[in-house]
Structure 1
Amino acid sequence: MGKGRIEAFSDGVLAIIITIMVLELKIPHEAGFTSLRPLIPVFLSYVLSFVYIGIYWNNHHHLFQAVRRVNGNVLWANLHLLFWLSLIPFVTGWTGENHFAALPVAFYGGVLLAAAIAYYILCRMLIACEGRDSALAIAVGRDWKGKISVVLYAIAIPLAFLNSWLSLLLYVCVAIIWLIPDRRIERALTS
């Protein structure tokens, strides 16, 4: 089956996720700068989550540029990824509203870890659909970025109970790793 509907649906879900996150930013009832101070943690968690959603959208787009078709396994794997990404507004709000307390930061990492695993599964389902010799299979290769991300999330989650700021730093590090678009797929498609 064609891939157009899965791409359009995924784009729509990701747009709704970003919309939900921005709607969680509460407008202060005062005009002074001091009224913005309590919103700083909420805004910072929003920025990090916006970057993560942007990273997933960008990489999702690249994945689907490298495939010609999808099957039922890909549809379910994609829904699995979208499920975890749909929880990001909740953990973003919980983390920001509670000023980066340990439990919300750990849950934030848990959602990021689950989304990373779901993305890995989606990649595997796409490769199985396209074939082991496909451009996507060659481009994904050993996927060191994905493996490092999972390890850093696995470290950051329990670390949140010792120092939530160090956990957040690890989440930022993973985002930085992925912020530079993954050129493997583009290289595989042009060669």
Structure 2
Amino acid sequence: METGRFEALIDAILAIIITIIVLEIPLASNGTWLSLYEIRYEFIIYAVSFIVCFNFWNYNNNLFSIVNKIDSKVIWTMGVTLFVFSLLPYFTTFVGENFYAFFPQFMYGLCFIVTAVLSLLIGRFLERADPANIALHLALSNHYPMYGTIILVLIGMVIGYFIYPPTIMFCCLFSILGMWIIPKIQSSLK
């Protein structure tokens, strides 16, 4: 199966997810800086969620731009991934309203980890669906940034449980930054 329509579907779903996240930001009660300050946590988690969404789109866009063929395993695994990822607006609001509570932060991080694990699985299925695609195999040869993402968020969950729950959300953000910085450092060392 060709990937063009599938990529368009992924793009449309991500656009809807970002729109829902934006619509969930509460309005300031009046036109003052103080009223904006009162909803600062909602803005912080919105910014993190937007970066998470953009990262997910960018990763998949770069990946599917070199894919020639997909199969039903790729389609269904991406469907499950998009389902899990579609919970992000709910968890964004949940965290925004309960910023210092562990459980909302944990669920936000769990959504992040499950999406990362499913993305690794999609990579394996893509390699099997398109075995002659050397560019795809090269792009998927380094899983360390994705494993680092999962480990960092798990560490954030432990710290969040015992010390400071927002650590989980910040670890999600830092893992994205690390996902793009680590390969740059590795390539400059070669």
With structure 1 as the length reference, what TM-score do the two structures score? 0.89
Which aligned pairs between 1:3-18 and structure 2 lie closer than 5 A? 3-18=3-18
What aligned pairs does 1:36-55 form with structure 2 within 5 A after superposition? 36-55=36-55
Aligned equivalents of 1:96, 1:148: Cα separation in 2: 26
Moved more, 109-118 or 29-38: 29-38
In the aligned structure 2, how far is the partner of 1:68 from the partner of 1:153? Answer: 32
- 1:58–1:181 Cα change, 3 Å: farther
The answer to whether the aligner puts 1:65 opposite 2:90 as a matched pair is no
**In 2 relative to 1, CA 182–2 (structure 1 residues): closer, same or farther, beyond 3 Å?**
farther
In 2, the alpha carbon distance for the partners of 1:180 and 1:10 equals 25
Instruction: State how far apart, in whole Å, the 1-side matches of 2:13 and 2:180 are.
Output: 21
Unmatched tracts of structure 1, length 5 or more: 184-191
The reply to whether residue 173 of structure 1 matches residue 174 of structure 2 is yes
Write out per-residue CA displacement over residues 45-71 of structure 1, whole angstroms, 9 at most, x where no aligned residue.
Answer: 000000000001001001111111111
Aligned residues: 183
Q: Tell me how far apart the structure 2 counterparts of residues 79 and 64 of structure 1 sit (CA, whole Å).
A: 15
Tell me the SS of whatever aligns to 2:25. coil
Q: Within 2, Cα distance between the matches of 1:136 and 1:100?
A: 41
CA distance 1:181–1:11, change in 2 (3 Å):
farther
Alignment of 1:155 onto 2:155? yes
Unpaired runs of at least 5, structure 2? 185-190
Residues of 2 paired with 1:15 and 1:23: CA distance? 12
Q: CA deviation at 1:179?
A: 4.9
Shift of 1:134: 2.5
Secondary structure of the residue that 1:69 maps to in structure 2?
A: coil
For 1:186, the equivalent position in structure 2 comes to: none
> In structure 2, the residue corresponding to 1:46 is in which secondary structure?
helix
**Post-superposition offset of 1:164:** 1.2
Aligned residue for 2:161, secondary structure, equals: coil
Give the structure 2 partner of residue 94 of structure 1. 94
TM-align CA RMSD:
1.8
Percent sequence identity is 28
Q: Does the 8 Å CA contact 1:120/1:146 hold for their aligned counterparts?
A: yes
Secondary structure of the equivalent of 1:164? coil
Secondary structure in 1 matching 2:28: coil
Contact between 2:70 and 2:129, CA under 8 Å: does it hold in 1?
yes
CA deviation digits over 1:105-155, x for unaligned, max 9?
111110000010111111111111111763111221131101111111222
Please give the alpha-carbon distance, in whole angstroms, between the structure 1 residues aligned to 2:154 and 2:35. 36
Call closer, same or farther: CA 1:54–1:181 in 2, change over 3 Å.
Answer: farther
